[in-house]
Chains A and B, each alone.
Chain A
């Protein structure tokens, strides 16, 4: 078993070339994924679009933009992420984010901010809607049957009929089921308030040390993929452990955490992809990291094939 490795990019450049250079380098280095940070009101481009812009120019790497569930339409989120999966041929993910910031609420002007619990409950509903919409077309819904004149078999399209506190969504999606069936859903999680509440496949956690990492892994459901966030370089304290030191020391730290914690891998928060090129080489040399040959992000991360909930329901 080798560890999984991703990087978190948080750049604010509006120049496509800056993103292309970094994600290509990460792609060529064989990393499993990049995440693209985003918030409303920041100086910087829309993250889903940045991921879409680099998708046709990269071949293997998973592309996981942040998209916010507060103030936004779950229907648009679902179709945008499904489309990212189509344009990347099965490499899309989504890092869910909520917004409790009144300044962000004022940008959208739709309603006052909610308390954290309510934001997370709303995010949980949004994930449910997004996932149902992804399944709302069965994979073989398009039949192109000349004899009966039918393009689709409408029995294989499903209304999702979601009704919740903040929104209701009828469905089905306007986008056919994406290549992965279910693109990878991820969330940054500092505690059980998030990892117990959200139906994500991947959690980014922020352990202080190896023991803390092990504790977190023990409390999160075993089928979840758990990545430790480590910030590479920097001095202002943040939520994640910050590492300042040599490449070999960072490789030691990763090796140590990984061997005792049960983590699936690491997400390195970098200011530029070049910060970690030597590290990747060193981890390979130690036999800790190996480039996956899988083509979809789900397969790369060892997630099971996404069974369509409606197809299952139909057979039952």
Chain B
């Protein structure tokens, strides 16, 4: 039997992938939007619904970022409400290990698992210290290495709490010293599904040791295959089998009636995603300095990027450019060769759509990725709230089902069951 594809629906996030300027774009905050997308995903027999999280509004040039969608609901609260309007769909939420406490969060995740009949998942993130910290008691004292120590012990502690079956515990490690009665009996999944989304060595090791799935950003075929091997090779050291950790990149797609039609749509969407103002802002994220004086329809700056990683121009987002000078040189060469404006270049080099074509081409490519071990499935990130997955569910899912690589009915009720995890 061929590998079965995992599919998840990412609620459109607070970045420029999400197109708010389209007349069809719906509310980013009203419950109707969340309900609509979750029901669409469940109609398509998806494995789970996915929410990202950021504990402070993004800033650029010291000002709240105003060009992208801003604002979203609290993760646990909206997921628990979605349990009321869905029956099988997994409910995955991103929650930060630095700004929560194990007793409280383990209790909330177990509550979600109970109230959803076994559909809870936690995407463990550890992101930016001091910037988020200004909203919390804890403040912002954890550096990168310590964040993963805390995250690892947090997960171990949560698992111990879930194993108490509601009873007594006493846990002491380098991060936590807690005791008492947990008060939540074993939930339907026992342990909610754990996802991880860090990409550094520390992040990968954490995933290999503790998580059931990785939300990855590796989506180019070769890169994805390398990442897949890199992660799966880490598993034996922890006594784990390869199929106990699923690798699921976030990807986007554009569907058309013909390949040419899809290309044309993709180009239109890219222009919506990268307005002139957004082009300058995205360029600043690499250049790490104020470029507001530049014309988006004109050439790239001839000054070099500013190399100060402690004071980056954008706050509230994980570092994206490990080698600023090299990337800048690459972008300049490309712009010169093709005579591209800043906006044209940004459209080319940032967040392009991964899968573009007819439904059958997309189904074929997705399947190739999974069958050749570039990944185990996909978190689909659409650009339109809340109707962005309608065409995928109506047109691509049936083709995957015909190929026998995606379920036609849910066979179980828990998310662990859907994912084939023990």
Contacts and interface: CB of A to CB of B under 8 A. Distances in A.
A and B, one complex?
yes
Interface of A: 14-16, 40-46, 48-50, 52-57, 71-73, 75-76, 79-80, 82-84, 86-87, 89, 103-104, 106-110, 137, 142, 144, 146, 148-154, 157, 166-172, 174-176
Contact of B66 (A76, A87, A137, A150): A150
15 contacts: A43-B166, A45-B115, A46-B108, A53-B115, A56-B31, A56-B81, A79-B74, A84-B77, A107-B181, A149-B277, A153-B66, A174-B54, A174-B56, A175-B71, A176-B29
Contact of B74 (A43, A83, A150, A166): A83
Given A43-B166, A157-B57, A142 B81 contact: no
B77 A42 contact: no
B136 interface: yes
Nearest to B136: A73
A132 to B, nearest CB: 12
Interface string B57-97: 10000011011111111101110110111000000000000
A14 B72 contact: no
Interface in B88-135: 99-101, 103-104, 107-108, 111-112, 114-117, 134-135
A151 B74 CA distance: 20
Contacts, number: 177
User: Shortest 7 CB-CB distances between A and B: which pairs?
Assistant: A149-B277, A109-B178, A83-B77, A170-B134, A87-B81, A83-B74, A79-B74
Interface of B: 20-21, 25, 29-31, 35, 54-57, 63-64, 66-74, 76-78, 80-81, 83-85, 99-101, 103-104, 107-108, 111-112, 114-117, 134-137, 166, 176-181, 183-185, 187, 275-278
A114 to B, nearest CB: 14
A174 B55 contact: yes
Contacts of A174: 54-57, 71-72
Given A40-B103, A109-B178, A57 B84 contact: yes
B185 A14 contact: yes
Nearest to B171: A109
Contacts of A40: 103-104
Nearest to B59: A154
A88 to B, nearest CB: 8
Nearest to A179: B30
Contacts of A76: 74, 99-100
A233 to B, nearest CB: 25
